Amino acid sequence: MKIPLKGKKILLYGDSISSSEYPWYKSALEELTGAEVYAGGFPGYTTSQLARDAQLQLIFDYKPDIIICLVGGNDAGVKGEVGTFGATDEIPVKETDITKDYSGYTFIQAVAHIIEKIDKHYNMDDSTHMLSAEDISPERPFLVFCTTLPQKRSNRFNKFSRSDNWLRKRDAVVECCNKYKVHCIDFYNLCDWDFSKEPYWVPPTDVHTNRGVFTMDGVHPNQKGYEDMARIIYNELAL
């Protein structure tokens, strides 16, 4: 489904990559779409933290037309910590109780909990994720989940720097999107970034220093990286 974005309110939900600490995600999307974009990310937060009621309230308070979730930047993705509902060879897990605050223990449970909490708040189900563009509103927003971007921290042996962990997180997001019929933007594959040319992250992050091609520091996208992400979102959603 293609969505006209001009005049819509878009909420970017996730960790620091979706936060106001980095201005280019918001500015690039606004320039491309004509939408009002709010950078609502929580720097340093894991997906489990983002699945909790206190953080999810930001979405409901802003009343967006479109919600774009990008999570997982602070989750390592190591085997045994990601989980599956049956689609991969990860550890099998059950869905969480969405009548309560988040209490799961795997990455996939946290992703699923976010989706189901949003569904419950807006009284949505699998069929209403694919409404026509005319039906999208703050009362029935369009939900999008993006697969996690790769990143490089300290060295190639760091768990955040391992390609198998990148792929494990990507597959979990895709599994959830398929399960709940949520639109998925596969940044993992659509961002054609050669991470062999990106630096390993050395703290602290400095937004004025760009050491990579698409990332400032191997973790956070630079202006070029965010513009590429915005282009992908626009091509996926806009008329």
**Band (194; pLDDT cuts 50, 70, 90):** very high
What is the C-alpha separation between 190 and 90, in angstroms, rounded?
24
CB atoms within 10 A of CB 187: 20
Q: Is the pLDDT of residue 1 over 70?
A: no
Tell me, what's the pLDDT at 130? Answer: 65
Q: List residues bridging with 221 in a β-sheet.
A: 215
In whole angstroms, how far apart are CA 195 and each of 77, 96, 148, 213?
A: 17, 35, 14, 9
Q: Where in the chain are the domains?
A: 9-237
Mean pLDDT of 54-68: 97
pLDDT of 239 higher than 60: no
pLDDT of residue 39: 98
Query: Are 195 and 236 a contacting pair, CB within 8 Å?
Result: no
Instruction: Using DSSP, state whether 120 is helix, strand or coil.
Output: helix
Q: pLDDT by residue (tens digit) across 64-97? A: 999 999 999 999 999 999 999 999 999 999 999 9
Question: Is-contact 24 222, C-beta < 8 A?
Answer: yes
Q: Does domain 9-237 have CATH number 3.40.50.1110?
A: yes
Q: What is the arithmetic mean of pLDDT over 36-64?
A: 98
Mapped onto helix, strand or coil, the DSSP state of residue 86 is coil
pLDDT of the residue at 215:
97
**More reliable by pLDDT, 6 or 134:** 6
203 against 87, higher pLDDT: 87
Per residue in 204-238, pLDDT (tens digit) is 888 888 999 999 999 999 999 999 999 999 999 97
Burial of 157 (0-12, 13-18, 19+ CB in 10 A): exposed
Write down the pLDDT at residue 162.
97
Look at residue 46 and tell me whether its pLDDT is greater than 70. yes
Do you know the residue count of the chain?
239
Task: Please choose, from the candidates 171, 183, 169, 174, the residue with its C-alpha nearest in 3D space to the C-alpha of residue 124.
Answer: 183
Q: What does the mean pLDDT of the chain come to?
A: 94
